[in-house]
Each structure stands twice: as structure tokens, then as C-alpha cells.
Amino acid sequence: MADIGQGPLFGPAPCRYRLPVAQFRLQGSKVLAVDLTGDAVKAKNGSMVAYDGQMAFKKMTGGGEGLRGMVTRRLTGEQMTVMEVQGHGTCFFADRASEINLVNLHGEKLHVEASNLLCTDAGLRTGTTFTGLRGGATGNGLFTTTVEGSGQAAIMSDGPAVVLRVSAQYPLSVDPGAYIAHTGNLRQSFQSGINFRTLIGEGSGESFQIRFEGEGLVYVQPSERNTIGGDL
């Protein structure tokens, strides 16, 4: 017996259930263009700079996670205000002339500072995760944003981002103020480099570091946010 849905009447079965997917592309390095064909994306509130075609904009609470997400973010102090953009045409996003980097997710999880997240496919799930002392060192709080699923996300950096690979043989230490995001199976630990030479002003000034071990990628920016470590 032939499979239902095959043949010229129905066409290939997988195509009948394929949903439209937003197409992300960069216009230069500081503007994100998203081509929409009836689908939707979630973007940082107020980041739309232009669009053509027909678009609808809706402000979302709790990072687009509904009431539960709103309560969770309020309790954790992780601030994230997003809007849903849906329609047909091309929408352009940017934020303070920041550099934009595209991340392709294939079922894995992206950890990213909320302030560095510009746009995601609407089908990607967002949430929060505990960062411990790393968040305290960066001044961003003890929780950070997660993006999970299959699709594309656009993250921002102050200057061109550098993507560094972490492996079992090569762990990585990063300044908290330069950290943007990471993917993969990584373990984080918090290191303090305070010693006598640092206190008298002869040290490197990098008083706190995040150490990553395992397998994955870490995104860093060539500019440091102010942290509680600072230059002592």
C-alpha cells in the first residue's frame, strides 16, 4: 500500500507540514535583516529601525515566556523586554550601533547576557539560569538568559566579537566584563586574581576571571563592561 500523502496529488509529505522560517542575514556588521513570510521573531523592544512589507508588532512580557516567565525574571532580577514581530517582508534591527553576530542552534542551549540578545526565531525557547558569582562579578545579577532549540539567534557585542573554542585540553579564562555568551557542555568556575601586587597597583588589573572547562564555544567582546572587580 502506498504511503498517504505521496504522489502528484499531495506532493512530498514532509513539505506539507513545513512551517515558514525567518531568514536572518546581516546588512554590514551592525544591522540585522530578517526576511519574514508570515512567520515571527522575538526581538529586543525598540530595536526595529526600518521595515518593508506588512508587519505587526506586539510587546511581550517576561522575555516572551508569559506570566510564569515574567514572575521568574522579576524574582531573579534578569531584565529582558522583547517584542514579537510578524508579517510579510523584511524587518531591520539594530541597537546602539553594536556589532551583530549570528548563532545557529541545532537543539543546544545558548547562554547569553540579556543586554546582548537582539533577536531570535519565535520558536526558540527563552529562560533564565543561575550564574552564581560570575553574575555578581559582572554586575548583571546572579541569573542570565538562555535560548534553546533549533533556529537562529542574533547577539550583540561592543566591537567585533571573538569566538573562542574550549576543549578538555584547553580550558579558557575570560574577563567577566568581556563575556557575552557561550554554547556547549561547559562548566564555569569563578576565579579571583587578587594578590598583594594587584592591591598596590602593580598587577594586571584583572581581579576576577571566569574559567570555562569542557567542550564548547565562548563569545567575548573587545570591550569590557564595568564590573565590581574593576581595576583595584
pLDDT at 60: 79
Under a CB-based contact definition with an 8 Å cutoff, are residues 128 and 140 in contact?
A: no
pLDDT band at 65 (very low <50, low <70, confident <90, very high): low
What is the CA angle 215-220-224, rounded to 5? 145
The backbone torsions φ and ψ at residue 14, rounded to the nearest 5 degrees and listed phi first, read: -60, -30
pLDDT at 59: 86
The confidence score (pLDDT) of residue 119 equals: 96
Average pLDDT over residues 158-164: 96
Does the pTM exceed 0.85? no
CATH topology of domain 20-220: Double-stranded beta-helix (3.60.160)
Output the nine-digit C-alpha cell for 135.
553574575
pLDDT digits (tens, 9 = 90+) for 167-206: 999 999 998 889 999 999 999 887 775 444 444 454 444 5
- The pLDDT value recorded for residue 176 is 87
**Separation of alpha carbons 93 and 82, rounded Å:** 12
Is the CB of residue 177 less than 8 Å from the CB of residue 135?
A: no
Alpha-carbon gap, residue 179 to 116, rounded angstroms: 10
Give the SS3 label for residue 209. Answer: strand
- pLDDT greater than 50 at residue 136: no
Domains of the chain by residue range: 20-220
Residue 67 has pLDDT above 90, yes or no: no
* Residue-wise pLDDT tens digits, 22-34: 999 999 999 999 9
Share of the chain above pLDDT 90, in %: 55
